[in-house]
Structure 1
Amino acid sequence: MDLGEEIDRLAGETRFSGVVLASRGEETVLSSAHGMAHRGYAVPNTVDTRFAIASGTKGFTALVIVSLIVEGLLSLGTRVRTLLGADLPLIDDGVTVEHLLAHRSGIGDYYDEDAEPPPRPQELSGPEGYLRALGGFPQQFPPGARFAYNNGGYAVLAIVAARAANEPFERLVRERVCAPAGMADTAFLRSDELPGRTAIGYLESGRANVFSLPVVGFGDGGSYSTAPDLRAFWTALAAGRIVPREWVARMTAVHSASTGTRQEYRYGLGFWLPARGDAVLLEGYDHGVSFRSTYRPSSGLTCTVLSNTAEGAWPMAALLEQEPPGDS
């Protein structure tokens, strides 16, 4: 059984709803779409359907921050207090941009991904809403002491970026990441006002996830993208079109060899790094969302799996890891 047949078999067994795309450069190695983008109207997913990518957004946030560092508006050592001022007073004054990028800040986290939906999700639609949600969480450990995955840290980075550049964060992502990569279908969309060709996320109950997500995403997650856009992203990143190549190398170098419960992964600055091999990946998980996109610099292979259910992407991503397209 070839890999395409194996994917179709697995999609049927797991009732996979989503898209799989594997490419080498502009060459498509494997492409398939399964399930429904909108169950009520029986709208099928297609390869260019937009999906929420949850924490995959963190890679974009990290690149915005690095682009501002390249311009001299920030540095890795910038203490975020210099831009937060009196806001979020429970964040330790010693927390730097690098601490936040590497998930080593120790700040209290406003959103536990293993818990129920984020606090007041319908109020999370802009920096003021996120500032309110981020407040009141005490520092958990001294800055730099260890790795602890932290959604709130990337929301703080979005606030820092917007203040340093004096521009809205979503515009910074559009102009500094999406435009140079040619990612025309990637954006922060309102979860209650999704345009055409966009998949609705579904909970295990079968209900839509609209009441389980922030109205509009921010630095820690919530953007929407397509498989072709993510292929374009990796190509542009490797070519140094988003940030210089020396910074790409720095961001994809190991900053944390130990990542707690995820011992099979290391972490750079905004990117996960599997413990074996040279792969770099972005990943996202939320209510009605699962996503993984992997780039292997040694072969130029990119593999992206997007799903509009919370667990849908993982069996498919595991298969592609075990049997890389073109290598089987």
Structure 2
Amino acid sequence: MDSDSERGIGRRRLLRWGGLAGAGVVAYGVSPATGRPGHAGTYKSQPDRIPPDTRPGGAYDRYIAKLAAEDRFSGVVLLSHRGRTVLSRSYGMADKEKGTRNHEGVAFNLYGGPFLSLSIVQLAQRGEVKLWDTVGTYLTGFAKEIAEQVRIHHLLMGTSGLSFPEHDHQRVFGSEQEQLEYYRQYTRQARLVAAPGAGSNKPGWGAEVAVQIVEAVTGMTFWDYVHEHVFGRCGMTGSAYYTRPQWLADEHIAHSYMKQADGSRVDAVRNLDKGSTHPGLAGQNNARNFVPDGGFVTAPDMVRFAKALYDGTLLDPPWADVYTSVKAPNFRGSPGFSTYGPPAHIVAGQWELSRGGIHPGSCSHWSIYPDTGWVGVILANQDDIPLQEIAGKQRQAITGTSPGGGR
């Protein structure tokens, strides 16, 4: 691995994704190691070329249309190059009862958003936290060994060594305060079962603990902090940590449709007594949270987030390096590398930052290719979406690799 790779996805290089093209430097195909054109990009001989598979009518577009026709996709896909939309497609219903169709401006329940770790790094930039501080520096009520040994760095890396009891997934929260108090008490039941930093994210990384550090330092709920310091700064006007009542009332928020044992799908937010039948989420329903986990985002807003991450809007250049740089091989059993933000992979000679996953009745995947300026977003609002397969097709369209390959 060259010296630039060892540093991770350097801010100096990331800025090339859009900011320098107008100054006569070609962003597509710039070498991350040397700064010279002609090394990193798959289409390095034609820096401005848009791969045909990414265009309307191309292979990726036809693939998504086929899935939708087979009732295997409901949602939005978007491909953007240097901030310009190349492909945007919407299928299915955002709210079947009201007859509202999915469209680019609809917000979907996001899995594994990058906003928590980003918030911590923002606070570190401002000198309000130190990444090597322990949990006990900011929070009380934890066992002594946790308070004194588990550090913020461990929480962000998934190497805290913490184990938590099973959540009460059947509980329906009636207010923000009730939900906040539940999680405050829940995290204090944590046990330290492995040495912090030992190299494994099992059996839990403690996101709820990191959330409470943000709240303790800022005096705001985590949701309010993200609204002001992330969504507000990026111009993500369609995205928010909406409450359950807002989810019911706002027609621009896609309802999540959970598959049931008889093959039918039910609206999660209108059927709090129903749960997922997915093996890893059995009985769960994210709408039981007063503020559902992950928040809600629109596809164009995720493109705005990508741009803001690299143009100084969210973090100063050195701190953007801290957020996106590779820290270690991925401990989660998949190829790639761990960062404080989304996992990083090397695909066809360029970096890919990506994260995906499922909530009951919804799923999401988003990818950022900082060397070439591509962003891919997949947002869906029903179960049984072949998310991994779609992500592979998206990667193939952008990079020219085989689905799931090139890493």
Q: TM-score, normalised by structure 1?
A: 0.88
CA shift digits 1:213-263 (9 cap, x unpaired): 152448xx42111001101000000112101122222222222303233x2
1:96 equivalent in structure 2: 151
Q: 1:130 to 1:327 in 2, by over 3 A?
A: same
What letter is aligned with 2:83?
Answer: E
Map Cα deviations across residues 62-103 of structure 1 (whole Å, 9 max, x no partner). Answer: 111111111111011111112111246673521111110111
Per-residue deviation at 1:311?
A: 4.0
1:266 to 331, 337, 340: 337
In structure 1, C-alpha distance between the alignment counterparts of 2:110 and 2:77, rounded to whole Å: 14
Q: Which has the higher contact order (CA 8 A, sep 6+)?
A: 1
Counterpart of 1:32 (choices 66, 89, 109) is 89
Aligned to 1:55: 112
**Could you tell me how far apart the structure 2 residues matched to 1:95 and 1:268 are?**
18
Determine which of 169, 183, 189 is the counterpart of 2:236: 183
Q: Which runs of 5+ in 2 are unaligned?
A: 1-56, 273-284, 403-407
1:105-163 deviations in Å (ceiling 9; x for gaps) = 11114568xxxx73635378442121123342322211100231676611111110111
TM-score, reference length from structure 2: 0.72
User: Using the alignment, how far apart are the partners of 1:87 and 1:124 within structure 2?
Assistant: 25
In the aligned structure 2, how far is the partner of 1:222 from the partner of 1:81? 26
Whether 1:250 aligns to 2:283 is no
- What 5-or-longer segments of structure 1 have no aligned partner? none
Equivalence for 1:227: 299
Deviations 1:263-316 (A, max 9, x none): 223221031112544011232421112111111011100000001124424332
Q: Is 2:136 the partner of 1:64?
A: no
Kindly name which structure, 1 or 2, has the bigger radius of gyration based on alpha carbons. Answer: 2
Q: Compute the displacement of 1:200 (Å).
A: 0.6
What's the counterpart of residue 168 of structure 1? 221
1:299 aligns with 2:372: yes
Q: Provide Cα deviations, 1:172-211, integer angstroms capped at 9, x if missing partner.
A: 1111111111111111112344122110111112122233
Partner of 1:197: 252
Supply the distance in 2 between the matched residues of 1:191 and 1:2 (Cα, whole angstroms).
Answer: 38
The residue number in structure 2 matching 1:2 is 58
SS of residue paired to 2:85 = strand
Distance 1:96 1:162, change over 3 A: same
Say whether residues 1:237 and 2:309 are aligned partners. Answer: yes
Identity between Structure 1 and Structure 2 (%): 25
Match of 1:134 among 154, 163, 187: 187
Counting only pairs closer than 5 Å after superposition, residues 85-164 of structure 1 correspond to structure 2 as 85-87=140-142, 91=146, 93-110=148-165, 118=169, 120=171, 122=173, 125=176, 126-148=179-201, 153-164=206-217
Inter-partner Cα distance in structure 2 for 1:174 and 1:128:
21
State the one-letter code of the partner of 2:169.
P
Q: Which amino acid aligns with 1:209?
A: A
- Report the number of matched residues: 319
Task: Work out which of the residue numbers 276, 283, 287 in structure 1 matches 2:356.
Answer: 283
Provide the rounded CA distance (Å) in 1 between the counterparts of 2:309 and 2:243: 27
With over 3 angstroms needed to count, the CA separation of the structure-2 counterparts of 1:238 and 1:168, relative to structure 1, is same
